[in-house]
């Protein structure tokens, strides 16, 4: 399905009398609902029957209203539009709905074109290159001359990735399967959470607004995080990278300007490539012992690491703690008030 015309979404928005925030009950939904509640914005949870009990069990983070669906891939577009809802995409939302999100006739917070770039590895690489990010080297099997990570298409949260050290090992382990081979960077992973705002004056200036640093996390992966215990116990287990959760981190303050500059460059190039990103995004990085920052992916939407609700950088910007979920509601409220929803919703 092709991309729905922007004019159609603007037509839908022109009929909206109020603001309502909807998302799929998964990933960072509790945070999105909680943040909207703090801003007194009505919320809708798109939920399957089996998840209702869980999402109802948090009185301060449950949505005001549920739309029950058979599958989380079935976004009830007409019901959402009838309720003046703006859909907030998150990792699972994007994953479940896939390319159908392009044509979905409901206003989506941000720019749905950014999600096309997130989905397509080649587009993503060209974006990262244009933004001047230092990226791990991509290799062909015959070029493997160092430790490399092998990524399969459609992998979810690093599941199934493998490590190889030579061409011979590659053919033995991977064979003819379609995969991306990337230099394995040794260092500390850091996932900065940014928020691009059309209206705020805080943060670093971009060509179409400002980029704020909200927080930083580190993904907790099985078994990479715990492998030292297995090795110490004499085990010989292959490294794996399946995401289990996230842990908060703060960066050396001297590294922060470079991270802010990265956020700005990614925003500015997104404007040139596809009209800009709005709202939350993340650059997945690894910082080496020489303090070189490598970037291996951009997430053009809220990431799960923001579920850790206290991050000092958001407080430094807003004077009190503001979660990314709440920041989304704040931005939408302001756009609605200023009648500028078309600028940050597509
Ligand atoms: P998601 O879409 O959930 O972000 P994914 O399936 O696209 O995940 P990546 O984020 O690319 O996978 O990678 C998963 C994990 O693999 C990373 O969190 C990191 O631990 C490790 N990893 C990825 N690329 C590299 C690299 N070049 N060097 C070292 N480790 C890497």
Closest residue (by CA) to atom 13 of ligand 1? 158
Q: Are strands 241-248 and 209-223 parallel, antiparallel or unpaired?
A: antiparallel
Cα 158 to ligand 1 centroid, rounded to whole Å: 5
Closest residue (by CA) to atom 25 of ligand 1? 184
Q: If you classify domain 138-183 with CATH, what class do you get?
A: alpha beta
Per-residue pLDDT at 155 = 62
Peptide bond just before 223 cis, omega within 30 deg: yes
Per-residue pLDDT at 238 = 86
> What does the block give as tokens for 142?
């015959």
Per-residue pLDDT at 239 = 87
The structure's pTM equals: 0.95
Closest residue (by CA) to atom 21 of ligand 1? 241
| Atom of ligand 1 minimally distant from the CA of 156 | 6
**Cα(195)–Cα(87) distance, rounded to whole angstroms?**
17
Binding-site residues, ligand 1, Cβ < 6 A: 136, 149, 151, 155-158, 161, 182-185, 189, 219, 221, 241, 284, 286, 296-297
Per-residue pLDDT at 80 = 98
Per-residue pLDDT at 153 = 82
Consecutive sets of 10 residues in the chain, 346 residues long: mean pLDDT of each? Answer: 94 97 98 98 98 98 98 96 98 94 97 93 95 97 96 79 95 94 97 97 97 96 89 88 93 97 98 97 98 97 95 95 97 98 98
Cα 256 to ligand 1 centroid, rounded to whole Å: 22
> What does the block give as tokens for 114?
């950014």
- For 6-134+186-344, CATH gives 3.30.470.20
Residue with tokens 């291996």: 296
Q: Where are the domains of the chain?
A: 6-134+186-344, 138-183
Cα 175 to ligand 1 centroid, rounded to whole Å: 21
Closest residue (by CA) to atom 8 of ligand 1? 157
């Amino acid at each position: 399905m092709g991309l729905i015309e922007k004019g159609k979404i603007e037509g839908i928005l022109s009929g909206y009398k109020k603001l309502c925030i909807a998302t799929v009950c998964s990933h960072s939904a509790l945070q999105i609902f909680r943040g909207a509640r703090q801003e007194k914005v009505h919320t809708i949870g798109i939920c399957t029957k089996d998840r209702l009990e869980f999402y109802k069990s948090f009185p301060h983070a449950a949505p005001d209203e549920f739309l029950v669906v058979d599958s989380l891939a079935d976004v009830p577009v007409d019901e959402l539009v009838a309720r003046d809802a703006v859909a907030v995409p998150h990792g699972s939302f994007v994953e479940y709905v896939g390319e159908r999100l392009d044509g979905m006739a409901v206003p989506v917070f941000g720019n749905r074109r950014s999600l096309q770039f997130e989905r397509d590895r080649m587009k993503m690489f060209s974006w990262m290159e244009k933004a001047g990010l230092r990226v791990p080297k991509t290799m062909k099997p015959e070029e493997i001359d160092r430790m490399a990570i092998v990524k399969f298409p459609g992998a979810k949260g690093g599941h199934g990735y493998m490590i190889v050290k030579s061409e011979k090992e590659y053919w033995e382990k991977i064979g003819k399967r379609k995969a991306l081979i990337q230099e394995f960077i040794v260092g500390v992973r850091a996932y900065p959470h940014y928020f691009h705002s059309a209206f705020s004056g805080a943060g670093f200036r971009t060509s179409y607004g400002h980029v704020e640093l909200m927080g930083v996390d580190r993904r907790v992966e099985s078994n990479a995080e715990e492998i030292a215990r297995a090795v110490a116990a004499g085990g010989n287990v292959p490294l794996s990278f399946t995401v289990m959760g996230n842990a908060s981190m703060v960066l050396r303050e001297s590294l922060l300007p470079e991270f802010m500059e990265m956020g700005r460059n990614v925003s500015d190039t997104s404007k040139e490539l596809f009209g800009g990103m709005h709202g939350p995004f993340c650059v997945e990085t690894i910082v080496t012992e020489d303090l070189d920052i490598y970037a291996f992916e951009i997430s053009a939407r809220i990431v799960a690491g923001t579920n850790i609700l206290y991050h000092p950088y958001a407080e430094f910007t807003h004077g009190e703690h503001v979660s990314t979920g709440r920041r989304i509601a704040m931005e939408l409220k302001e756009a609605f008030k200023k009648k500028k929803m078309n600028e940050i919703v597509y």
